[in-house]
Structure 1
Amino acid sequence: MKSAFPSGDEPYKIAILLLEQFAMIAFSSTVEPLREANWVAGRRIYEWTVVSHDGNPVRASNGLMLEVNAPIKDVDLSAIVIVCSSFNPHLYTTQPVLAWLRRQARRGAMIGGVETGAYILARAGLLDGHRATIHWENATSFVEEFPQVELTNGIFEIDRRRFSASGASAAMDMMLCMISEQAGQKVASGVADEFVYNRIRRSEAPQRLPVADRLSTRNPRLRRLLSFLEKRLAEAIDVGEMAVVEEISEREVQRLFRVHLGTSPKAYHRRLRLQRAQDLLRQTDMPVSEVASSCGFGSGADFSRAYRREFARRPSDDCGVVYLLDR
């Protein structure tokens, strides 16, 4: 993989933009490798400025407040800009933030995001036609809202002048990749050693364990069936189709799910589709009817009944995405 991280005169100047409810662990995984790289190399390879939209302290998702160095208006140009955000990024995607990011891009900065930072970049139109990644919980809604972005399941992505990391540990891998290319593999390995980080992952490493591993099942037939269902959340799958795929009887399909998971194949798959529906309702402004259809429910009434049984609430109770772009 050929990276586009800038090379040239040190120190490299980096601006890290914190948005409200940013994940402290993701921020630490972004900035601490820079500090450690300077120490390992014995010279100042990186200089960074932590900014907020107005220069005021920013509250992290754990409730702690973090002081910043400056407001975005005071940062004219950085070689690299990193957006660090987490929960509800749509609530903090303001017009001043978008305008500042676009201005940095026009001036040649390499721009990236950590965890849900890709959402901010996509809202600014900076990821159109690029590969990107985002935390797996936000992937479904991201694809619906930004079809012009090539979303991957990798832990991080670097595509021309854009980059993104899907979470905290992924940010560590991405920063080590950057350090390797700008300061050399010896420095990157030294940083990893200091953090007792004994395996630097490649960008294409998957974000999550396979569903069968998450459920701690080793039965090969059930593992294949679980993978089959997880890839088909836009349609209702009956037991007959599953039996054909695995070339076993419908009774055996039922037995596998009952013995290993304590549920029926139909109930298991319906739960997956309802969880996807809940993500869409909470993270996008898609109408309930459209969400129902995209998750394989033939009618709004069927969807509402299933949703209430699963979550003890109506689908409309989970709607309410509000875009505050004019703050």
Structure 2
Amino acid sequence: MTIEMQQPEPYLITVLILEQFAMITFASTIEPFREANWVVGRKVYQIKVVSHDGNPVRASNGISINVDGSMDSVSASSLVIVCSSWDPHLYTSPKICSWLKKMARQGAKVGGVETGAYVLARAGLLDGYKATIHWENMEGFVETFPLVKISTSIFVVDRGRFSASGASAALDMMLHLIALHQGSSVSSAVADGFVYSKVRQGENPQRLDSSGRLNVTHPRLIRILKFLDLNLDKHLDVAEMSRSEGVTDREVRRLFSMYLNVTPQAYHRGLRLQRARLLLRQTSISVTEVAICCGFSSSSDFSRAFRREFGQQPAADRREIYYLERPAEQASKSEAHLWSN
């Protein structure tokens, strides 16, 4: 008589996808666990993909995918991952928030990818926790959820919460979670299977700083650019930039002219206007408040600068992105369907 060793139960992972989720982020989230099963040689991870109502979900690229059921069909899970991208505020309902809180109370580790942190924060699950979100959504997130300890890292794991900022960051984070659960050898084998030779740690920044994006190598100019990156909430004149580095105003102007072909004031104003545009598109704060947050002396001064930079007034830009991202008819139908369930 032979005695068969009982295999441990698979680790249950539930992935909740919201309308307009990013397909590449979704794949980066689930594929590492599928590959881990192949590496280990048995079903270590069992993945269930759900929507709020069990119906197919349309990704941001227009492709709809079927799901395994509704979130209510999940009674227990070891890991819950929210996968969302565009307009998470439009698709985060009270029912979703209640379900996430229930799963957390039952002991599930709960996280999100790309803009999934928004959904968790709306459910109150990130208050007092460190978290990250895609850099384009960060300004609005900070304004909306001041109790969350926001990080610019590519991914963050804080106690029973975790978040990743985008597609490749989701892959990095899943490899990290697999390493914690199955060991670094399994995680490394998964990365090898994806021909992913440079696995990043969570503390890596989401974006290059300004000097990196602009390919600037002059050490003095690099320091000035970092100083300006940290002061997007105020108008700085050349004298203040000069004092930060202990050089003359003339030297600051020379560096900007030689390496960037722009004046220091115009460069910094452009940064502040880009930040203002993100706030307009991601928050509901007034144009006047946006102007103050970005160092403009008045809303009229801000509006003039904004129109010169982007070709239209701030309020018009806010309306335009609203209708570009979610046509009125589609948005109203989606909201009505979601909030009625």
Q: Which category of TM-score, normalised to the shorter sequence, fits these structures?
A: over 0.9
Whole-Å separation in 2 of the counterparts to 1:262 and 1:20:
43
* Aligned partner letter, 2:264: P
Matched residue SS, 1:279: helix
- Tell me which residue corresponds to 2:325: none
What whole-Å deviation, never above 9, does each CA across 1:65-100 have from its counterpart, x for those lacking one? Answer: 111111112111211100001111111111221111
1:67 matches 2:86: no
Shift in Å, 1:164: 0.4
Shift in Å, 1:105: 1.2
Matched residue SS, 1:134: coil
Is the 8 Å Cα contact of residues 157 and 203 (structure 1) preserved in structure 2?
A: yes
1:270 matches 2:269: yes
Ranges in structure 1 where 5+ consecutive residues have no aligned partner: 1-7
Shift in Å, 1:190: 0.5
1:304 matches 2:303: yes
- Tell me which residue corresponds to 1:145: 144
Matched residue SS, 2:262: coil
Whole-Å separation in 1 of the counterparts to 2:8 and 2:306:
57
- Tell me which residue corresponds to 1:289: 288
Matched residue SS, 1:175: helix
* Aligned partner letter, 1:134: I
What whole-Å deviation, never above 9, does each CA across 1:263-288 have from its counterpart, x for those lacking one? Answer: 11101111111111111111011111
Is the 8 Å Cα contact of residues 115 and 134 (structure 1) preserved in structure 2?
A: yes
Shift in Å, 1:29: 0.7
Whole-Å separation in 2 of the counterparts to 1:126 and 1:13:
20
- Tell me which residue corresponds to 1:188: 187
Shift in Å, 1:255: 1.4
Q: Percent identity?
A: 57
Matched residue SS, 2:13: strand
Whole-Å separation in 1 of the counterparts to 2:38 and 2:75:
27
Q: Any residues of structure 2 matched to 1:241-280 within 5 Å, and which?
A: 241-280=240-279
* Aligned partner letter, 1:68: V
Shift in Å, 1:9: 4.8
Shift in Å, 1:237: 0.6
* Aligned partner letter, 2:119: I
Task: Say how many residue pairs are matched.
Answer: 320
- Tell me which residue corresponds to 2:77: 78
- Tell me which residue corresponds to 2:312: 313
Q: Any residues of structure 2 matched to 1:1-327 within 5 Å, and which?
A: 9-319=8-318, 326-327=339-340
Matched residue SS, 2:76: coil
* Aligned partner letter, 1:211: S
Whole-Å separation in 1 of the counterparts to 2:84 and 2:102:
20
Ranges in structure 2 where 5+ consecutive residues have no aligned partner: 1-6, 323-330
Whole-Å separation in 1 of the counterparts to 2:282 and 2:302:
18
* Aligned partner letter, 2:315: S
Is the 8 Å Cα contact of residues 11 and 45 (structure 1) preserved in structure 2?
A: yes
What whole-Å deviation, never above 9, does each CA across 1:166-191 have from its counterpart, x for those lacking one? Answer: 11111111111111111111111110
Deviation >4 Å, runs of 4+:
320-325
Whole-Å separation in 2 of the counterparts to 1:93 and 1:317:
26
- Tell me which residue corresponds to 1:4: none
Whole-Å separation in 1 of the counterparts to 2:181 and 2:226:
39
Is the 8 Å Cα contact of residues 26 and 168 (structure 1) preserved in structure 2?
A: yes
Is the 8 Å Cα contact of residues 285 and 319 (structure 1) preserved in structure 2?
A: no
* Aligned partner letter, 2:151: T
Distance 1:288 1:9, change over 3 A: farther
Scaled by the length of structure 1, the TM-score of the pair is 0.94
Is the 8 Å Cα contact of residues 141 and 283 (structure 1) preserved in structure 2?
A: yes
Whole-Å separation in 2 of the counterparts to 1:178 and 1:249:
50
Whole-Å separation in 1 of the counterparts to 2:183 and 2:9:
13
